[in-house]
Each structure stands twice: as C-alpha cells, then as structure tokens.
Amino acid sequence: MTRLVAVDLDGTLIARDGRGALEAREPFAELARRGIEVAIATGRMVQSAMLVFQDAGVEHGYIIALNGAEVWSYPSAAGPIWQRAIEPPAARRAVEICLQAGAEVQGYVQGELRILRRTARTEAYARRTRVPAHLVAEEGMSEGPQKLLALLDPSATGLLMDRLRNDLAGRIECFRSEPDFVEIVPPGVDKGVALRALAERLGMPLTEVAAAGDAENDIEMLQAVGRAFAPRTAAAAVIKLAPVLLPPPPGLAEALARELTR
C-alpha cells in the first residue's frame, strides 16, 4: 500500500509550457481521499514549490526543495524540517570553476535566488519558477548556499561536472537536471537521501512510498522507493531503471493517481 508519493516538477508534473499544476487538482484530491500524501521533489526553491501546491489545491503535503538540500512541511513556513548547505570555501571554488567554464551561475542562499548578472537565461528561469532574482557580488554566492546552479551549453556540461568532481571530491555533489543545467549541492545530498529522511520522520517504510521523475537528478529517489514512475519522455538513464511509464505532463498526474488508487 502506498502512503506517500514524491513527484518531480519540471518535466514530470509540469510541462515546458507551464501546464500541469491545475490539471493535478482532481488527481491530487483523489489521492488525499485515499489517504495518500503528496510530496513535491524539485530543484526549485521552496517558495516556487509552494505556489505549485497552491495551484494544485493541495491543503497539506511535503516539499523536497533544491534537489534534496531542504525538506519542508506544507503549508508551514516556520522553516525546513531538514536542511544541508555547501561549505563556503567549497562554494567559492565551485563558482570559480563554473565561471571559468563560461557558465551563468545562480545561488540559492538563505532563502534567496541570487545571480551575478541578469541575462535572458536567468530572467527566463525567474519567470518560470516565479521567484525574484537578486543581483549580488561574487562573494554573495558562497555564504553557505543550499545549492548552486550552472547554466551553460549542453555540450559543455559533462566537462564541467568532471572538473567539479575532480577539484571538489567529497565536498559537493553535482549532476544534470536538464540538458543545460548542472546542479551543485552539498555532499551526500540528493532527492533520494531527502526522501529517506522524510519517510523516517513520518515513521514510514520506503516500501510504502512511491515516486515519479524524469531526469538524472531523480534517479536516486526512484531507486529508493517501493514504486517508481516516469513520463514516457524521461531521460534514457531513467527509463533504464524500468519504472512504470506514464503520459508526459500535463497528463501525468491523472495517470499517476489512477495507478496508485487501483
């Protein structure tokens, strides 16, 4: 029996055109009627995830934000129930490496989305997530961020990740969440680790937890749970895990609810 389902946002619940949250209203309501709680598991900040829950009409749930660096109870805004941060020296070096690679860098620091300069990419990201971006000097990126995000040409992401892993082994984790996004988080952090922490807090075995995701940063979460789902448009590495494949967003929520309530 499934008691909790963790759902990734971009590419899983939310389509590129922004649709998905409103379409999830009735499916999520049906899950609540069946006693199944919903958690959002996303690379976005908690403020953005809360807006998605509001759009979807969810009254109570959980948010795994910043690719597992924070876990929140919704609608409480009292602060995270679990949190990790990148040590400032490691964050400073990671920013240097990203800038040397020609990447645009965003920092998620003390509840703020921080940027070094405004570009078409950073403005598009702020509009998509509905969180304002704050211009800061380079040192403002390294004040114990929960996450750093490098935005660069997809062809260069592999080399950047190799440089980060070689230079900062044991001090950060990094992975792709989208073809042009390299996510940099504290060591030992991913969505799977955060979901385990949440399940333990709820006194719930992972065999009673389900998850849905589409990208490389969802793999650990999908491997951790009793039931794994993915849209048919998921990355090849995700599909290789042999999850149950569902329609892509905005139709995924309805199909997911149908699978979980059979």
pTM of the model: 0.93
Q: What domain count does the chain have?
A: 2
Residues 44 and 115 in one domain: no
Among 160, 185, 210, identify where a domain stops.
Answer: 185
- The answer to whether 72 and 38 are in contact (CB under 8 A) is no
Structure tokens at 119: 């570009």
Residue 110's pLDDT is 86
Q: 65 with 75: CB under 8 angstroms?
A: no
Same domain? For 178 and 199 the reply is: no
Per the structure block, which two tokens stand in for 162? 């190799």
What is the average per-residue pLDDT within 158-183?
96
The pLDDT mean for the chain works out to: 96
Q: Is the same domain home to 78 and 193?
A: yes
180 residue type, one letter: D
CATH number at residue 100: 3.30.1240.10
C-alpha R_g of the chain: 17
**Per-residue pLDDT tens over the stretch 35-92:** 999 999 999 999 999 999 999 999 999 999 999 999 999 997 688 999 999 999 999 9
For residues 177 and 195, state if they share a domain. Answer: no
pLDDT of residue 77: 67
Residues 145 and 122 in one domain: yes
Domain boundary among 185, 214, 242: 185
Residues 193 and 180 in one domain: no
Domain span at residue 153 reads: 88-185
pLDDT for 262: 87
Say whether pLDDT at 13 is over 70: yes
Q: Are 19 and 95 within one domain?
A: no
For the segment 114-133, the average pLDDT, to the nearest whole number, is 93
Concatenated DSSP letters of 45-98: -HHHHHHHHHHTT-SSEEEEEGGGTEEEEES--S--SEE----HHHHHHHHHHH
CB 199 within 8 A of CB 205: yes
Could you tell me if 66 and 194 lie in one domain?
yes
Shared domain for 181 and 92, answered yes or no, is yes
Question: Of 153, 168, 185, which residue constitutes the final position of a domain?
Answer: 185
Q: Please list, residue by residue across 223-241, b when 16 or more beta carbons sit within 10 angstroms of its beta carbon and e when fewer do.
A: ebbebbbbbebbbeebeee
Give the CATH number of the domain where residue 211 resides. Answer: 3.40.50.1000
Mean pLDDT across 9-28: 97
Residue 26 has pLDDT above 90, yes or no: yes
Q: Identify the band that residue 180 occupies on the pLDDT scale cut at 50, 70 and 90.
A: very high
- The residue that leads in pLDDT, 228 or 262, is 228
pLDDT beyond 90 at 242? no
- Do 174 and 95 lie in a common domain? yes
**Within this chain, do residues 170 and 228 fall inside the same structural domain, yes or no?**
no
Question: Helices 157-167 and 88-100 sit at what angle, rounded to 10 degrees?
Answer: 150
When pLDDT is averaged across residues 129-155 and rounded to a whole number, the result is: 96
User: Do 79 and 200 belong to one domain?
Assistant: yes
